[in-house]
Structure 1
Amino acid sequence: MRFSRALTAFFCLVLSVFLSVVVGACSGQPEETSRPKNVILLIADGCGPASFTLARTYRRDVLGQAGGLAVDPHLVGTVQTHATDSRVTDSAAGATAYACGVKTYNGAIAVDTLRRPVATVLEAAEARGMATGLVATSTLTHATPAAFSAHVPNRGMAAEIAAQQITKGIEVLFGGGRADFLPESAGGRRTDGRNLLEEARAAGYHVALTRAAFDSVTAPPVLGLFAGSHLDYELDRDPAEQPSLAEMTRKALDLLRNDPDGFFLMVEGSRIDHAGHANDAAAHLHDILAFDEAVAVALDFARQEGETLVVVTSDHETGGLTLGRNLDGRGVYAWYPGVLAPVRHSNDALARMLREGADPETVLREAGLDPATLDPADRRALLEAAEDGDARTFLSHYNDLIARRAVIAWTTGGHTGVDVNLYAFGPGHTRFFGNHDNAAVGRQIAGLLGLDLPALTEKLQAQSGAE
């Protein structure tokens, strides 16, 4: 009996190794021969499994681009996302889990449940002499980039987050949120009178505020803020004014790649989440596609460089998107991604057009709707709201109409508790096979880089006087 158990265990081990090799070979993965020198962590904020299906299907069936998404060959597992105080996390607790390897409460930015600072992988990388970078399509003070670069008990403390971010030695900071770095007297939101852009310049940062300035950056450190608040949705983005997420990722890699001690880079597709909150299907879709282009940039770099681990995941799902739904009380076994193709602008842009008094029928066409094809009741409701400049009512009718035509649905304007996808490529990728707690993902990244987060946490807490 003992021999039989030993033989069974041996064959299980052999099978495990064989499957690991086969999976690696089929996905183009390099062999597991060493730890990574560099890590690129890409977070698709608010992007659940159905969202990736939406983007993949649209890319294939509407755009005619075969081959799937860049992330598809590297799916290795799933992630549990709950916070300590809720089965449904927010972005702050979710990002803290990835950044620090610890679970905490909703709203917390790199602090534990006792509100004590906990070290981030970015801080630990900097302490060891590595180069670091943060790239986001939100404000840089938003929950995810904040959780890697600041310690505050409440995610709403944007002024304090910004002040901490420029003191961390981060080599590359790209995103939105210029107003959080400027005093009210200079058109910003700061009430303390500090001009953090001037302070960053004094600390040696090149400050880039325009597309042209972004293009001219050739060396770190750099602070690039390309909007007063969040960057525009991909549907609305003017390439002459704002770089894409893929372009920011490529530039960040160019600036970080030559550090002899390696680098850690976090890239967030932030506005995927915002579109989910708004139940804005077209904006959600196009920001996912833009995120996947950034993933492709990271994967190309990793394949060429050979010592880079790429990890791709989400902090949570937003909106409860479902593909297929009931219509008139009957389950419909279909959904139509092509309905989203004519949509030219996000809800934000449509609302702005309405507030500025645009012609109602023009707004409908920009929203991807031909007034002549609308049901009379829908047409009347939309045009009346548009004529009144009532953006909220217009968008409520509009989002529901688009969803019914596409046969998709949203269950919430908030987050959900579903497990999210986990992708990995490069040295150490097998550590991410299976289902993981989000904090375990953060600990794995730190471990693969040889970073001692508990030791740095103890030091931070001693410095802060935390007990």
Structure 2
Amino acid sequence: MKKKKWLSLALVGAITASSIGVVQAKDKELNPKKVQAKNVIMLVMDGSSDNVSTIARWYKGEPLALDNILTGAVRTYSAESAITDSAPAATALATGNKSNSGYVGVLPSVVTTPGVAPVAEEDAFKPVANVLEGAKLQGKATGIVSTSEIQHATPAGFSSHVTSRKNYDDIAEQQVYQNIDVVLGGGYEALKETRKDGEDLVKVIEEKGYDYVTDRNELLSSKSDKLWGSFAPSALAYDFDRLVTKPDEPTLAEMTEKAIVTLSKDKDGFFLMVEGSKIDWAAHANDPVGMLSDFLAFDDAVAKALEFAEKDGETLVIAVTDHGNSGITIGNVNTTSTYDTTPVSAYINPLKEAKMTLEGALSLLKKDKSNLAEVAESYGLTNITKEELTALKESDNLGKTLVQLLSNRANIGFTTGGHTGDDVFLYSFGPAKPTGLVDNTDLAHSMATAMGFNLTDLTNKLFINAIAEFEKLGYTTKIDLTDKNNPVFVAENKKSIITIPENKNIVHIQNKNSKKTKTHTLDSVTVYNDKDFFVSKEVIKLAK
């Protein structure tokens, strides 16, 4: 008994010492005086999971670039669920705050997850600062890259603040007025003059001095320090499909390399967020080919980031998925009794037959479906059986049937068409790299500290309730909703009338005596969350 008691005490002591060691290491890592990074590259593989990386490695037949920098794992839950949506996941990664489904860059209104701190009712939907905004105020160059619309949830989380991820108009406007140095991806539709607010954001982009490029050749040949690339009305093509369906679009690796080359010209350093977006879309469709396509394209982009970081020596690289999706498994009901003798080739060879993703294959389908067998073959269903062809001809959902047939051939399983709540791999490299099991919110604070700022302090600097603060200064205030698509905050005293439009980085101050109006350009954007306007301390200083 004494021996057992001694062993138990020794074990507890070892665990305690280990825990203290982890905390001390983390504190040391997050101390900006000891370890900092000149540059930070954050890469997000949306909707991927650990099994995707395993399948991709077998498919590729050699190690992944990611394999060299595996350092831990990440918890991904949101403020209201064990399974997160991409918007609160991006908010956590970018701002260090948990939030609700659909919320981008703002605090939650509902908190039900154990361990997540409650939010005061008056702070619900309040904007919170992100690492890109912090980097910009540090004098660093900034960039976002995505294979989806640049206004999609993940890039939006690093560049905007809205109560709904569907609000592309506000997201796009904030992104343009954030003065980000490099923006590359899809989403041209959200920039056009047909927007609800009537603003032609392409014209604004050009007026701001960007080289606005629309295809691969223009991107690669540009010499500008300010780049805005819109390569598709919405999302870009899957990597496997690109040469056939969209040959003028750049790859994710090309966009990443161009962004790094452009941003690294800044002597103060840079922050870059890169997203491989459509792994998630393929996962929702249970399309293993689409998942492989854009996971491998993402890994190529990681290789470009690491190539720079290894030479540079001052760059922190973090790569992570924001959440799992689909519950993809190597093995399904076919392998219940044969899993221990089923060779790797039984899983991988059927996938290698596919030349295009589900999206790409279906784009080739004729209206009369006369080329159905050829479409199926392009998706990997070579030597199609009579039963398989009949299933396709009788299908009410051709895409669903195609993925089911190929997954059956490849012995790949799926548990859902939605997100999953699993912890995911953490990949990191360079100074101040996070390691071990961390929360997704920890990564935002790690990046901020590595760049020399505090996200809470930054929020208090950038997002002050305009009504409360201006009324303290003796102004009368109102929110002008005459044009509901262009809300404006108005503050007035005996000397001045101050007008501040939402989503922009400008403030107009009219002198009542001279009737002259001066427009000031700000370092950050003003946010209206459909309830309150939030302005920076810079605005308050101008009003005094």
TM range (shorter): 0.7 to 0.9
Matched, 1:347 2:358: yes
Residue 414 of structure 1: which of 408, 418, 439 is its match? Answer: 418
Deviation at 1:384, TM superposition (A): 4.2
Within 5 Å, give how 1:16-95 maps onto structure 2: 34-60=35-61, 66=62, 68-95=63-90
Aligned residues: 427
Within 5 Å, give how 1:131-170 maps onto structure 2: 131-170=141-180
Partner of 2:190: 180
Highest RCO, 1 vs 2 (Cα 8 Å, sep ≥ 6): 1
Moved more, 447-456 or 99-108: 447-456
Partner of 1:220: 225
SS at match of 2:333: strand
Matched residues in 2 for 1:381 and 1:373: separation?
A: 11
Partner of 2:248: 241
- The amino acid across from 2:351 in the alignment is L
Matched residues in 2 for 1:347 and 1:338: separation?
A: 17
Deviation at 1:337, TM superposition (A): 1.2
Residue 361 of structure 1: which of 373, 377, 395 is its match? Answer: 373
Residue 457 of structure 2: which of 451, 455, 458 is its match? Answer: 455
Deviation at 1:373, TM superposition (A): 4.3
Answer yes or no: is the 8 Å Cα contact 1:134–1:265 preserved in 2: yes
Matched, 1:266 2:251: no
SS at match of 1:145: helix
Partner of 2:101: 106
Matched, 1:402 2:406: yes
Note the alpha carbon deviations across 1:113-172, whole angstroms, 9 max, x for none: 110000000001111111000001000000000011110011000011001101112100
Note the alpha carbon deviations across 1:4-23, whole angstroms, 9 max, x for none: 99xx88xx78xx79xx9xxx
Answer yes or no: is the 8 Å Cα contact 1:87–1:417 preserved in 2: yes
Matched, 1:320 2:324: no
- The amino acid across from 2:212 in the alignment is V
SS at match of 2:43: strand
Matched residues in 2 for 1:264 and 1:328: separation?
A: 46
Matched residues in 1 for 2:133 and 2:226: separation?
A: 16
Note the alpha carbon deviations across 1:248-284, whole angstroms, 9 max, x for none: 0000000011211110000000011111011111111
Answer yes or no: is the 8 Å Cα contact 2:377–2:384 preserved in 1: no
Matched residues in 2 for 1:353 and 1:373: separation?
A: 18
Answer yes or no: is the 8 Å Cα contact 2:225–2:262 preserved in 1: yes
- The amino acid across from 1:173 in the alignment is V
- The amino acid across from 1:201 in the alignment is E
Deviation at 1:459, TM superposition (A): 2.6
SS at match of 2:275: strand
Note the alpha carbon deviations across 1:318-344, whole angstroms, 9 max, x for none: 111111111297564435111111212
SS at match of 2:327: coil
Residue 117 of structure 1: which of 102, 115, 127 is its match? Answer: 127
Answer yes or no: is the 8 Å Cα contact 1:446–1:453 preserved in 2: yes
Partner of 2:201: 196
Answer yes or no: is the 8 Å Cα contact 1:177–1:227 preserved in 2: yes
Partner of 1:304: 311
Matched, 1:425 2:429: yes
Deviation at 1:406, TM superposition (A): 0.7
Answer yes or no: is the 8 Å Cα contact 1:308–1:427 preserved in 2: yes
Within 5 Å, give how 1:329-344 maps onto structure 2: 330=337, 332-333=339-340, 334=342, 335-344=346-355
Moved more, 237-246 or 117-126: 237-246
Partner of 1:63: none
Residue 287 of structure 2: which of 277, 280, 283 is its match? Answer: 280
Answer yes or no: is the 8 Å Cα contact 1:332–1:407 preserved in 2: no
Answer yes or no: is the 8 Å Cα contact 1:231–1:242 preserved in 2: yes
Deviation at 1:352, TM superposition (A): 2.6
Matched, 1:208 2:213: yes
Gaps of 5+ in 2: 1-5, 26-32, 109-123, 468-531, 535-544
Within 5 Å, give how 1:361-400 maps onto structure 2: 361-370=373-382, 372-374=383-385, 376-385=386-395, 393-400=397-404
- The amino acid across from 1:365 in the alignment is E
Matched residues in 2 for 1:463 and 1:196: separation?
A: 27
Matched residues in 1 for 2:466 and 2:359: separation?
A: 41
Partner of 2:298: 291
Answer yes or no: is the 8 Å Cα contact 1:140–1:175 preserved in 2: yes
- The amino acid across from 2:300 in the alignment is E
Partner of 2:137: 127
Deviation at 1:455, TM superposition (A): 1.7
Deviation at 1:451, TM superposition (A): 1.6
Deviation at 1:228, TM superposition (A): 0.5
SS at match of 1:422: strand
Answer yes or no: is the 8 Å Cα contact 2:285–2:400 preserved in 1: no
Matched residues in 2 for 1:383 and 1:183: separation?
A: 43
Gaps of 5+ in 1: 21-31, 61-65, 185-189
Matched, 1:434 2:433: no
Deviation at 1:312, TM superposition (A): 0.7
SS at match of 1:436: strand
Answer yes or no: is the 8 Å Cα contact 1:347–1:395 preserved in 2: yes
SS at match of 2:364: helix
Matched residues in 1 for 2:279 and 2:376: separation?
A: 23
Percent of aligned pairs with the same residue? 40
- The amino acid across from 1:348 in the alignment is E
TM-score, normalization by structure 1: 0.86
Partner of 2:470: none
SS at match of 1:207: strand
